[in-house]
Amino acid sequence: MSLADSRLFHPLKVGNVDLQHRVVLAPLTRFRADDDHVPMPITVDYYAQRACVPGTLLITEATYVSKRGGGMPNVPGIWNKNQIAAWRNITDAVHKQKSFIFMQLWALGRVAVPQIARDEGFDIVSSSPVPQANPMSPEIVTPRELTVHEIKQFIGDFVQAAKNAMEAGFDGVEIHGAGGYLIDQFTQDTCNKRNDEYGGSIENRSRFLLEVARGVADAIGAEKVGVRLSPWQSYQGMGMKEPIPQFTHVICGLKE
């Protein structure tokens, strides 16, 4: 069978989006926003070029849900009007090509660069005070454990970011629950050492991700929501010894 005859080029319905093929642009961190985390005008051309085949799905570079979810330079955000307006120019360009675009929603947690956190006025936080073994910055910082109240605030950040993405014209969102970032820092026991409702058991370690997903789905519709997971990835201090029970519970919870 030739590549042209494979299912790769057959239509596929994803949620309420009708794709004309199954080649999807994965999220690619680009560091091309301005210092206020607003996408630069050239970003319009970047995504429009990749949407040139009608019926294509693009997933944006990971985008901060809030300032406190950040910690790397020149990464776009989706928490204020200027950011929303800049993203609207991008979604309009993609839709003009008759293609579709989802936004990946991101919070860094303990992998934030310490100097950037200080400059932008927020703490480096995580599920537990467990520092990253091989940080991107030479400065090793022990993150502050999030309180339950702060966890609820982050859930609210994801929900509001999803609403803002809809205002900006996106067709859906992907929740970044992978790669050793904040959500993954709750899901995996290599980082999560809590003994409250957000840690200590498979069910409790899954709670943050599932509450984020349910909140976002309730806000914008489950058919517009995807979740990225990385059960076997060891990047940024992840890689629990027995991921199958943990992620089976997560996937079952997401199906509910």
Output the domain CATH number for residue 25: 3.20.20.70
Segment 216-235, tens digit of pLDDT: 999 999 999 999 999 998 88
Residues 6 or more apart whose CB falls under 8 angstroms from that of 255 comprise none
Residue 47 annotated to the active site: no
CA nearest neighbour of 89 among 44, 127, 132 = 44
* Number of domains the chain is built from: 1
CB 75, CB 38: distance < 8 Å: no
Give me the residues of the chain with pLDDT under 50, please. none
238 vs 195: CA distance, rounded Å: 19
The verdict on residue 38 lying in a domain is: yes
What pLDDT sits at residue 237? 86
In angstroms, the first-to-last Cα distance of the chain is 38
Give the model confidence (pLDDT) of 51-60 as tens digits.
999 999 999 9
In 3-state terms, what secondary structure has residue 182? helix
The SS3 assignment for 164 reads helix
Q: Which position among 64, 181, 198, 235 bears the catalytic label?
A: 181
Q: Give a yes or no: residue 206 inside a domain.
A: no
Report the pLDDT value the prediction gives residue 36, as an integer from 0 to 100. 98
Whether 174 maps to a domain, the answer reads yes
Give the pLDDT of residue 1: 64
Assess if residue 204 is contained within a domain: no
pLDDT score at 256: 84
pTM (2 d.p.): 0.96
| Residue 137 in domain | yes
Of residues 140, 130, 254, 134, the one with CA closest to residue 199: 130
| Residue 37 exposure: Cα atoms within 13 Å on the Cβ side | 24
Q: Which pLDDT value is given to residue 15? A: 93
Determine, yes or no, domain membership for 2. no
Domain that holds residue 129: 11-178+212-228
